[in-house]
Amino acid sequence: MKIINTKILSLKMPQTRNQLIALEQTSSETFSKYFSSKTSRFNEKKVSLSVKNNESKSISKETEQTLTKTVTQSTFEENVTVDKSSKKPLSNWEEVYQRIKEYRKTSIAPVDDMGCAKLAEKPGPNITPQTSRFQSLVALMLSSQTKDQVTAEAIQNLRQKLPGGLTLQSVLQADEKFLDQCISKVGFHNKKAKYIKSAAEICQETHGGDIPNTVEGLVKLPGVGPKMAYLCMHTAWKQNEGIGVDVHVHKIVNRLGWCKTEKKGPESTRRALESWLPRELWQEINPMLVGFGQTVCITNMPKCANCPVNDKCPSSKY
């Protein structure tokens, strides 16, 4: 590396041993200052820890460790989609939450009677736990971009028209076109019929006739995303692994100012909520806000005048 420095150029050739030592010390100090100034101006996103030729002799192990830590941290922060500000929720969130919760106790919504959590038959003499869990999974798969009333009707059709009712075995034996006819009113019914058939085959071959018992296993099924997986863990396995964020939850928490993830999507909203919302509320927040979105905080025409938190909501138009 060529270093231009007036201090070095002005030095004369050493005539004595003392002058030679002085020259070596001066050159070393100048080189060190030069390299340090260059290092401090490195862009963290473009730092290369492999220093070539003479530069590698001057960089210390401590500097390498520092740079490695900086680059790793910078890369990690870029990949994290959670808004850091979401870890500090609005100070009044508990009051708002409780108001909505109280309001929902007397405000009946479609999700309360026909939501996915209500559609599976409970285990009993004629319904095995495996069948009940499979019905929960199918209900969730049908519910995507479909109203609760339509999903409930499709589940009822499957129970009545499939020989033996809605079970894993009846789906395995049914023709895909027949399944499609039974669920023809739900959104994207063609794809969902194919997904349900494939999911049943995977459950039979890989999970011993039951549905996967982890979020990771559920999302590997065709047509099953994170929202469905977390809700399925709630309803089918009674395990609280995460928040099920659908369009209602995503929309409302952003309107309330609890998250700043409106343009980032439901998964970013889920991670943001889970960073501060107490875990014991993860399961109940979905049906609570879904019903609130169905009756009051409607997507295109929110009824702000009837909202129990219109004096606290930053998005209120009342």
CATH assignment at residue 103 = 1.10.1670.10
Residue 29: the pLDDT is: 46
Average pLDDT over residues 246-266: 96
Report the percent of the chain where pLDDT is more than 70. 72
**Looking at per-residue confidence, does 293 or 34 come out higher?**
293
Distances from the Cα of 297 to the Cαs of 139, 156, 247, 252, 310, in angstroms?
24, 29, 12, 7, 10
176 shares its domain with 248: no
Residue 317: the pLDDT is: 85
* Radius of gyration for the chain, computed over Cα atoms and rounded to the nearest angstrom: 31
CA dist 271 and 55 (Å) reads 43
SS3 70: helix
CATH assignment at residue 221 = 1.10.340.30
Residue 88: the pLDDT is: 67
| Residue located via tokens 């999970």 | 207
| Residue after which a domain boundary falls, among 190, 206, 235 | 235
Give residue-wise pLDDT tens across range 5-26.
444 344 444 444 444 444 444 4
Query: Annotated catalytic residue: which of 7, 38, 87, 227?
Result: 227
Considering 26-40, 45-59, 129-143, the range whose residues carry the highest mean pLDDT is: 129-143
Residue pair 59/51 in contact by the 8 Å Cβ criterion: yes
Asked whether residue 5 is assigned to any structural domain, the reply reads no
Average of per-residue pLDDT values in the chain: 81
Residue pair 218/229 in contact by the 8 Å Cβ criterion: yes
Active site residue 238: no
215 shares its domain with 257: no
- Confidence grade of residue 310 (pLDDT, cut at 50, 70, 90): very high
| Residue after which a domain boundary falls, among 203, 235, 267 | 235
Q: Which distant-in-sequence residues (6+ apart) come within 8 Å of 89 by Cβ?
A: 258, 276, 277
Number of domains in the chain: 2
Asked whether residue 41 is assigned to any structural domain, the reply reads no
175 shares its domain with 208: yes
Distances from the Cα of 180 to the Cαs of 133, 200, 203, in angstroms?
21, 15, 20
135 shares its domain with 171: yes
Residue 145: the pLDDT is: 93
226 shares its domain with 183: yes
Q: Which distant-in-sequence residues (6+ apart) come within 8 Å of 199 by Cβ?
A: 137, 141, 221, 222, 223, 224
101 shares its domain with 144: no
Residue pair 230/115 in contact by the 8 Å Cβ criterion: no
Domain that holds residue 191: 110-118+125-235
Give residue-wise pLDDT tens across range 61-114.
444 444 333 333 333 333 334 444 446 678 899 999 999 999 999 999 999 999
Report field, pTM of the whole predicted structure over 0.75: no
| Residue after which a domain boundary falls, among 235, 261, 286 | 235
Give residue-wise pLDDT tens across range 215-233.
999 999 999 999 999 999 9
Distances from the Cα of 189 to the Cαs of 111, 180, 185, 194, in angstroms?
21, 6, 7, 9
Residue pair 290/248 in contact by the 8 Å Cβ criterion: yes
